[in-house]
Amino acid sequence: MDPLLLARLQFATTTTIHFLFVAVTLGLVTLLVVLQTAWQLTGKPKYERLTRFWGTLYLINYVLGIASGILLEFQFGLNWSGLSRYVGNVFGAPLAMETLVAFFLESTLLGMWIFGWHRLRRGVHLALLYGVALTAYGSAFWIMVANAWLQHPVGYELRDGVAELTDFGALLRNPTLGMAFAHVVSAALTVGGFLMAGISAWHLIRRTPDHALFRTSLRLGLVTGSVAVLFVVGFGFAQFGPVGAVQPTKFGDDAARAAATADWTARFGPGDYQPPALAAVALGFMMLIGMVLFFALFLLPLLYRDWLIRLRFPLYLLLLAAPLPFLAVILGWLTREVGRQPWAAYGLLRTQDAVAGVSGGTMLASFLGFSLLLGALAVTNWVLILRQAGRGAHDLALGRSPAAALDAPPTWTDEPLIAR
Q: CB of 328 within 8 A of CB of 187?
A: yes
Residue 366's pLDDT is 86
Percent of the chain exceeding pLDDT 70 equals 95
Residue 414 has pLDDT above 70, yes or no: no
Give the integer Cα–Cα distance in Å for 145 and 383. 33
Q: Hey, is 162 helix, strand or coil?
A: strand
The residues near 44 (Cβ < 8 Å, ≥ 6 apart) are 38
Residue 419's pLDDT is 36
At 317-340, the pLDDT tens digits run 999 999 999 999 999 999 999 989
Total structural domains within the chain: 1
Distances from the Cα of 124 to the Cα of 111, 131, 357, angstroms: 14, 10, 51
Residue range of the domain that includes 341: 3-419
At 20-57, the pLDDT tens digits run 999 999 999 999 999 999 999 999 999 999 999 999 99
Give the integer Cα–Cα distance in Å for 285 and 278. 11
Residue 418 has pLDDT above 60, yes or no: no
Indicate the pLDDT class of residue 404, thresholds 50, 70 and 90.
low
Percent of the chain exceeding pLDDT 90 equals 60
Residue 386 has pLDDT above 90, yes or no: yes
At 200-242, the pLDDT tens digits run 999 999 988 888 899 999 999 999 999 999 999 999 999 999 9
At 261-274, the pLDDT tens digits run 999 999 999 988 99
Total-model pTM: 0.91
Residue 410 has pLDDT above 70, yes or no: no
Residue 409 has pLDDT above 50, yes or no: no
Give the integer Cα–Cα distance in Å for 414 and 419. 10
Q: Hey, is 267 helix, strand or coil?
A: helix
**In this predicted structure, which of 119-128, 357-366, 403-412 has the lowest mean pLDDT?**
403-412
Give the integer Cα–Cα distance in Å for 335 and 99. 26
The residues near 49 (Cβ < 8 Å, ≥ 6 apart) are 213, 393, 396
Q: How many helices (H) and strands (E) does the chain have?
A: 18, 4
DSSP 409: P
Average pLDDT over residues 305-325: 93
Q: Phi first, then psi: give them for residue 176, nearest 5 degrees.
A: -95, 10
